[in-house]
Structure 1
């Protein structure tokens, strides 16, 4: 064989490719790019409409900062610390929405409101139906503002990877579709008061204040409406009388589901301010649970040395060992929320002023919590950020915020 690696036999190419794929799809794609022979002996990661689970990017996020060049953005791997740049010319006609499927960006075409899933490592776009199909038939007009209110707050797989599911919290709807479908099949889940959703192992779950639900549909045939079925009770943490709770479901390593319960309370003996408590600054406690998919039980858990960043529509796992010398702490939950003023102009809600991120760090080991706030003007020269601020900006982003209704609008900066 000499030094000509392109003459590797098919079996050796497959063995190397499988080992690279076990680490990250990025290495697998780079391996296939070496020569035509290696590409012929390995599978194209764009198979299955670009949604084959083992070819989805893992732990990659697009940094919330000004582009390196027009439509060229930096991506960070929160597990390894690696950084790559990707050209996304599609952003000229599309918005990036909050939730992601694996590491796929969720794009919304500005004119038609059609959804697409963009693979940043292959540049492949999986086409999904427009959000207009979630409207009531009498309001089926893409020029109306309502399609923007239907932006998904969670997206994932359902029915064993056979369909894509979305949860639109702002309008209390859950919907399913396959790539190439013309419409979403949807139902209202308003009676259940769903708080969050996530998919794991090809199945889609939603959570209310008291119950975990599983979504199902006849995904193989594409007929009928989806349905939700209760599968487990959610524990109620003791110790404080909550004034409010925020529940977040998060995929964990592709085969586990993590539930974060953020309990807001007002300290005993203290009177809340006349204008009411500020949800961005009031005290809170975090509890973490693991959902055992076998017996469908929800049990208290830990983060196993990792950090977890949680926002309204996004959640990201990060490995502190990948960022030596940083302030990223193990076994810590970082909850980040946007704090920005909005104005209404020409029937559109638009950001007014810079984005401020309110960050709470909850250490699970001793139960302590620290609150901070930082500005994010997308220019590192003016606002240098460490890894904690960078990932907090990502999960706390209000991308698509111009479409968010009143309940998502923050008050003045604190």
Structure 2
């Protein structure tokens, strides 16, 4: 049945005009199953396109699921994987407005995050810390962890981190001690499966998991170390400890606690920084080994790429010597960013190149160009802008994967 809106649109044209334009269609009255198929195709491409499609008319909205009304459910279909929050020293939008970049198209949008208004919510920043584009927040008053979708504004509450140390806080009244909050700072987060969230706290060398609706966090069995890197890949939490790539494994029956299982061994023993990124369905590792740099008067990274592959059923890390003529990688201590195409970034970004910066006080950014003919590379350096207004496109991309020093 045609809606009032579609009939009004149809009546604006006289019959003669409609005969002349034979391609006219009553789009609002498309069959529900057809709208659903179109919506699925749009969603596969980009979440924001799906949101805009639902807003076209009420029939289309009724024929498609509402990603903002999922309740406590975690639905990975609606995660903004291709969007990343731009990290700025002094956000121009004030306390709650943040800018987000679409990695594929270079489109930038402003999103209001009201959870930041009271300054009691801390965002765990960095590409590796925002699993599948989701924001992980910690309430500084209660230590409740929240999973926020910045595009749909869907929020999932998880237990308070205080449940990890109930005996330590037993009998305590008043604000949570400063030392306890510092030790339970979330340094990384991700997904162990379709419904389980993983958090890592460097201060207490602990990793824990929880699902929406759980009363408490559960520690990962036998883990008491420092992570070199972590990343969520295909709804599984991978991390590197002591040059070993591990994966958090959940017991399907829920009878045994979660555990860390060794997956593959790194070839480079001298790795001091590592980040991971999804390379179109393959897990890519960006490893850095130190080398002498006369410009910076101390040792600087030399980058190597690996991809996780299965050889005779055994997970193996295979060296990658060529990114391709249309791709680039940005990496820092907070993760990595892979541009599948530099079409919208050229000429600021060059193809087959890795850009890196490790540390907020490093005044130079590194540029490692890979040569396709023989697998060799060259490294150069450029000044890193120290002001948001002067920041180049390359600098902004690096700030998404590097800690930002906020001067007073």
TM-score interval for Structure 1 and Structure 2 normalised by the shorter chain: 0.7 to 0.9
SS of match in other structure, 1:338: coil
SS of match in other structure, 1:27: helix
Check the 8 A contact 1:357/1:396 in 2, yes or no.
Answer: no
How far apart are residue 145 of structure 1 and its match? 2.8
| Closer, same or farther: CA 249–227 of 1 in aligned 2, 3 Å | same
Instruction: Give the counterpart of 1:230 among 242, 262, 270.
Output: 262
C-alpha separation in 2, matches of 1:376 and 1:74: 19
Instruction: Give the counterpart of 1:95 among 97, 110, 122.
Output: 122
Check the 8 A contact 1:56/1:104 in 2, yes or no.
Answer: yes
Q: Does 1:117 align with 2:144?
A: no
Check the 8 A contact 1:333/1:363 in 2, yes or no.
Answer: yes
Instruction: Give the counterpart of 2:55 among 33, 36, 54.
Output: 33
Return 78-87 or 203-212, whichever deviates more. 203-212
How far apart are residue 299 of structure 1 and its match? 0.8
How far apart are residue 396 of structure 1 and its match? 1.1
Q: TM-score, normalised by structure 1?
A: 0.78
How far apart are residue 291 of structure 1 and its match? 0.9
SS of match in other structure, 1:84: strand
C-alpha separation in 2, matches of 1:357 and 1:169: 26
Instruction: Give the counterpart of 1:175 among 208, 215, 220.
Output: 208
Instruction: Give the counterpart of 1:150 among 158, 170, 184.
Output: 184
Instruction: Give the counterpart of 2:323 among 303, 309, 312.
Output: 303
Q: Deviations over 1:95-138 (max 9, x none)?
A: 21121011111112121222112111111111122233344732
How far apart are residue 375 of structure 1 and its match? 4.1
C-alpha separation in 1, matches of 2:32 and 2:139: 41
Bigger CA radius of gyration: 2
Q: Does 1:361 align with 2:382?
A: no
Check the 8 A contact 1:96/1:399 in 2, yes or no.
Answer: no
C-alpha separation in 2, matches of 1:358 and 1:110: 34
Q: Deviations over 1:263-299 (max 9, x none)?
A: 01348xx9xxxxxx97xx5232111111126631111
Check the 8 A contact 1:337/1:358 in 2, yes or no.
Answer: no
Check the 8 A contact 1:187/1:227 in 2, yes or no.
Answer: yes
| Closer, same or farther: CA 169–138 of 1 in aligned 2, 3 Å | closer
Return 183-192 or 258-267, whichever deviates more. 183-192
How far apart are residue 357 of structure 1 and its match? 5.6
C-alpha separation in 1, matches of 2:234 and 2:346: 34
SS of match in other structure, 1:308: strand
| Closer, same or farther: CA 190–58 of 1 in aligned 2, 3 Å | closer
* Larger strand proportion of the pair: 1
How far apart are residue 10 of structure 1 and its match? 0.9
C-alpha separation in 2, matches of 1:318 and 1:291: 19
C-alpha separation in 2, matches of 1:249 and 1:136: 34
Q: TM-score, normalised by structure 2?
A: 0.79
SS of match in other structure, 1:54: helix
Instruction: Give the counterpart of 2:159 among 125, 129, 134.
Output: 129
Across the aligned residues of Structure 1 and Structure 2, the Cα RMSD in angstroms comes to 3.0
